[in-house]
Chains A and B, each alone.
Chain A
Amino acid sequence: MAQVQTDTDKKLDKKMSAKNIKRVLTYLKPYRMKITILFLVILLSNIIMILGPYLTSIVIDQSIPNQDARQLTWIIVLYAVATLINGWASRYRLYNITLLGQDVLRDMRSDLFIHMQKLSFAFFDSQPHGKILIRVVNYINNLSNILSSGLINVLSDILSIIVTLAIMLAIDVRLTLYSLILMPVLFVATMIIKNKQRAAYDELSAKQANLNAYIHESIAGIKTTQSYTRESMNYDIFSDVSNQQREAYMKAVKAQDMLSPIVQNIATITISFIYFAGIRGLGVDVSTGILIAFVGYVNNFWNPIINVGNFYNSLVSGAVYLERVFEMMDVKPQIQDAPDAYEMPPVKGEVVFRDVTFGYTEEQNIFEHLSFHVKPGETIALVGPTGAGKSTITNLISRFYDIKDGAILVDGMDIRDVKVQSLRKEIGVMLQDTFIFSGTIMENIRYGNLEASPWDIVDAARVVRAHEFIQDLKNGYRTVVQERGSTLSAGQRQLISFARTLLADPKVLILDEATSSIDTQTEILLQEGLDRLLEGRTAFIVAHRLSTIRNSDRIFYIGDKKILESGSHEELMKKKGHYYNLYRTQSKLLKKV
């Protein structure tokens, strides 16, 4: 049932690759100066951390046996200053690591969003919107720690591992080798856990996306759900999806939390072994002082390894999110500007279809060899049975889809040769489903032309007869409407959408069922505005109302993947073909009482 699509788990097809790591690094590159400084500051505080025990040992070894109160005082002062410096360093570190992380997130999210703007309808139509949303918003947030504190800490950890290892080697090579003897075990264990963890996180991210998508759809479709009293069934589906997320989470955590105990046990075994080797000989001959120091270093050595292990942990889980993000960035926009695309100059509005073949899928064509020529300023009504492809023709002119064969020319320019955005600026489309953004009515109308003044907006609203109802609203044009304009009626939304299109002032106008929800009285009033709107523009109108159709210069009757009839109302009536039948049926239906 409804969960099926929210339940399809997209498995990652690629292995975690070095390419992705390189890609992450490109996001860090602009901040490399900051990262270097941060790294140095962290190094400084690490040195101070070592300084503490050192100062303590001086107190115990020198000041006290020598009864040197003066030295003790100096050491205390030094220690206090070091602590203050460390406080400053931690302040610097806290602020700048967060800043770095936030900057990187912002950049990445911004890139993803900009890329998303280029993706075609098919991308948005093919998956639940909740799944797209989670990538742009939530997944990117999940990367925050890995990219900032995680990365920098791991650098300083690796550094201290190297330093410690060098000191250990300087003290005693054999003991050092002894302390590394269990490294391969750790390595193998990490690999096993990593594989489990990656699979588990992959599943978790898929389940999380399913859950979010289901929640999202449940909210968006709540009115339908309540009307159809589907609540209890939806609840069951939700419980199921939610439970799957829970189990996937537990699986992921069980794998992830395994690493730390393993490292700690290995560390303890190693230390025991060093004690044993040091005390019982085993070919090592070291003094007790050195042995104690050495054990201290082994401890120092394992702590950063635990940290690195934890970082690796989060990297593995974060990588899954990262890959989903990159996966979306890699979706190729279907409609792309040609490399040598140029800005479309202002057009007169001539539209030519030359032998156009198009289909949404490979197998099925909506049109085959469709050709027509529309002169600037002409108004064309598209009629025909529902699903014949009237809207499709209008979608092709705006290049929302690319055709399979043939060419579409606007003012003689092939629309694939110009920049898509410049083409769409010349074409005004009023879509079947009106979309209202949350914001004021004024802002919603302004969407058609961002430079429009309030006067222009009121003018446009007057022309399309939206002014009356807007004035009746509590705050007039400043009334805030919620997303999708749920507080407005469908007809009111259409009027706003109409005003928006008028404001855009396009040369080619497409009205796709633009007035279907507007009542007749308003439409009569609107007609006047519509006439003004159509003046000097090429227009394609998809409508069912006879009066609208009749007034157009030419009528295209669409069917059988082509234009079956074209001509003015009078011509087509004389022809007594499809249009004649359609028209006659309609008037008959109206008259029959």
Chain B
Amino acid sequence: MNSIKWVWQYIRPYLFGWSWASIMVVAVALLNIVTPYVGGLIVDNVIYNGESDLLLPLLGLMLLGTFVRTILRYTYQIKFERIGQNALYQIREDLYTKLQELDFTFFNTTRVGDIMARMTGDTDAIRHAIAWLYFNVLDNIVLFVSALIVLSTIEWRLTLALLIVTPFIALFTILLSIKANGAFYEIRESFAKLNSMVEENIGGNKVVKAFANEAYEEQKFDVRNEGFKKANMDSVNISKTYLPVLETLAGFMAVISVGLGGFFVLNGMMSVGNLVAFNGLIWMLNTPMRNVGGYMNDMQRFITATYKIREMLNTKPLIPVNQKKSIQEMRGEVEFQNVSFAFADEPEHFVLSHISFRAEPGETIGILGETGSGKSTLVNMISRFFDPTEGRVLIDGEDARRWNVLDLRKQIAIVMQDVFLFSDTIKGNISYGKPSAEFEDIEQVARVADASQFIEKMPERYETYLGERGSGLSGGQRQRLSLARGLIKHPKILILDDTTSAVDMETEVKIQKGMKDVSRDTTTFIIANRISSVKNADQILIMSKGEIIERGQHEELLARKGSYYDIYQEQLGQSEVEEEEDEDGSSTD
């Protein structure tokens, strides 16, 4: 019932069309009864009674009835399909909107294939219910009710006797719906699993091939493929217990009608003509009974689908998007006040603890640290992809939580570690965050990111298409495109999360020089593993296990001879030795 109430909100806008179409369903169901009736009139009146002048009018009536009926039926079918599509469209939109609101925590724990299954398979089950199931049920109800009325007028005792079967039919239908519910849930779960497995296989095709693990993948696939089949068979195993019983019970209505009716006639309680008429109409009572099981299955599928969709629509994003705070020009001051953070699923394990620092507008902050020490999590908090568990993040002196998320993010560009490029042109990818960007702008940032050279060499230059995830480009090339994408926003805060790891040092220096010109007033955060990337920063933070263990400028840190110094020495490494052999020694400052 909840499911129906929920789906009703998507139908309500089309209430007028829906009502008309429903009326048409009733009309068609009644006309369905009229046509055989006219056929009967022809036989009785024209053929047996020889009233041949009635032939043409009756034939005309039959033709007209069929014509009107088929037209009405076509009209309402299309109407329901249209309403179904409109509802489907709206549900998909709502899901898509929700998708965009949900936070990183949700995406880190939900499989892509699972979301896909909701947005495709589940929405389709709902469409089926609106566009097909509803009018068929209505049609059958009309049929059943009119059958009851008509049959009762012919012989009410026999009709009553037939109804003995109905409680059994109701019982089995209810049993079926209880059992079937779980089975349909399993079907859609195993479908989502199959979907996810194939999705991963496609995404990881390079790794699969590199390890020549095709056979293993096929094995994994077989499990999912068989699992999906099994879920379907489990459902049919339930159906096969109940549906044939329903079918047989419906069949027994005809047996009772002939048998009991026959005895009624023998005992003079009923005329032969009435028995013939009664039998001719028994299908009207029969058909709905036969169909009820199938409809119940569809109904369960619909309920399961709405359940999954509503679950996603009801997920509350941890970072609410719709907060009102008037857009203000950001200066780019960032301050962390004693910030600690733990993921919701591991509340006792702090990824960051007691982080405090302050970045003035236009400053550059370098962040260095071990793998997994929380560097990315730290910068993600500036864009509010996560909110601190303890402490505060202040942007321009204002708690980030009080900023409107969209306004905040509009002024921050984050160039992520995992470069995701869209299946779009290079131009489209660079201007992703600013679709209105002028071409000159695009060219300029591509130059700054040192990407223009390789772009110019591509077959269609800026119009070249990239595959999903930018496959076909080298890691360094992808990083530079992603950097250009960040720069074109001309953000107040720029976050570079290991952006140049796959770029050689020479290029990196070139990029850094170029960036100085375009982002002079931009507060910049650079996460890197190379000293060269961060050494010109106004402040360098060294992180370890979620804490800042050293901070300061390059020289201060070197003088301290702590871990920064160690890293520096290691990276400088052998080049020291080289310097001694170096004859002209011009590089020694």
Contacts and interface: CB of A to CB of B under 8 A. Distances in A.
A486 B275 CA distance: 73
Given A64-B265, A258-B74, A438-B196, 19 more contacts: A1-B428, A4-B465, A110-B222, A129-B468, A227-B385, A227-B409, A231-B100, A235-B97, A264-B66, A360-B472, A386-B503, A482-B108, A495-B371, A517-B498, A520-B567, A550-B574, A583-B575, A590-B575, A593-B555
A568 interface: no
Contacts of B55: 275-276, 279-280
Contacts of B77: 253, 257
A316 interface: no
Given A4-B428, A59-B262, A483-B203, A83 B251 contact: yes
Interface residues of B, number: 179
Interface string B350-386: 0000000000000000001111110110000001010
5 contacts: A216-B116, A226-B100, A246-B86, A433-B469, A491-B372
Interface stretch (B17-25, B212-220, B516-524): B212-220
A354 interface: no
B409 A386 contact: no
A488 interface: yes
B417 A517 contact: yes
Interface stretch (A20-28, A179-187, A405-413, A539-547): A539-547
A69 interface: yes
Contacts of B182: none
A146 B521 CA distance: 64
B112 A220 contact: yes
Given A386-B504, A432-B502, A521-B567, A288 B371 contact: no
B424 interface: yes
Nearest to B555: A593
B371 A518 contact: yes
Contacts of A383: 504
Contacts of A400: 206, 209
A492 to B, nearest CB: 5
A519 B204 contact: no
Interface string B541-556: 0000000000000110
B360 to A, nearest CB: 22
B443 interface: no
Contacts of A517: 371, 417, 498, 501, 529
B85 interface: yes
A447 B213 contact: yes
A28 B48 CA distance: 52
Given A221-B420, A223-B107, A550-B574, A113 B221 contact: yes
Given A228-B489, A518-B371, A275 B42 contact: yes
Given A219-B112, A438-B111, A60 B529 contact: no
A486 B203 contact: no
A223 B99 contact: no
Contacts of B568: 590
Contacts of A125: 467, 471-472
A391 B474 contact: yes
B468 A217 contact: yes
Interface in B240-261: 240, 243-245, 247-248, 251-252, 254-255, 258-259
Contacts of B272: 60, 64
Contacts of A88: 244
A83 B372 contact: no
B308 interface: no
A291 B43 CA distance: 10
Q: Helix, strand, loop or mixed for chain A's interface? A: helix
A230 B432 contact: yes
B208 A117 contact: yes
A586 B346 CA distance: 42
B354 to A, nearest CB: 19
Given A67-B266, A276-B55, A438-B196, A519 B370 contact: yes
B46 A279 contact: yes
A385 interface: yes
Contacts of B110: 482
A336 interface: no
B207 to A, nearest CB: 4
A147 to B, nearest CB: 14
Contacts of B469: 220, 433
Contacts of B115: 219
Contact of A424 (B42, B46, B211, B265): B211
Interface stretch (A158-166, A192-200, A237-245): A237-245
Interface in A353-401: 360-361, 363-364, 383, 385-387, 391, 398, 400
Interface stretch (B4-12, B156-164, B224-232): B224-232
A257 B42 CA distance: 30
A224 B349 CA distance: 27
Contacts of B226: 106
Contact of B424 (A2, A133, A592): A2
Contact of A121 (B201, B205, B229, B276): B205
B326 interface: no
B503 A544 contact: yes
A504 B208 CA distance: 13
Interface string B416-438: 11101011110010001101000
B514 interface: no
Given A90-B244, A103-B229, A228-B489, A591 B588 contact: yes
Interface string A77-108: 00110011011101100110011001101100
A227 B423 CA distance: 18
Interface stretch (B87-95, B142-150, B169-177): B87-95
A474 interface: yes
A212 to B, nearest CB: 6
Nearest to A262: B70
B532 interface: yes
A76 B259 contact: yes
- Lowest 4 CB-CB distances: which A-B pairs, in order? A491-B371, A87-B248, A228-B433, A261-B70
Contacts of A105: 229
B578 A583 contact: yes
A55 B236 contact: no
Interface in B537-583: 554-555, 563, 566-568, 570-575, 578-579, 581
Contact of A433 (B428, B475, B503): B475
Nearest to A299: B39
B116 A212 contact: yes
Contacts of A544: 502-505
A124 interface: yes
Nearest to B453: A387
Contact of A438 (B100, B200, B221, B467): B200
B63 A268 contact: yes
A234 B372 contact: no
A329 interface: no
B1 interface: no
Contact of B194 (A72, A137, A219): A137
A450 B70 contact: no
A234 B272 CA distance: 71
A520 B532 CA distance: 12
Contact of B232 (A55, A98, A425): A98
Contacts of B575: 546, 583, 586-587, 590-591
Given A448-B211, A450-B216, A127 B504 contact: no
In this complex, the member of B195, B225, B245, B376 whose beta carbon has the largest number of chain A beta carbons within 10 angstroms is B225
A31 interface: no
Contact of B409 (A138, A222, A229): A229
B255 A79 contact: yes
A520 B498 CA distance: 13
Nearest to B574: A550
B329 interface: no
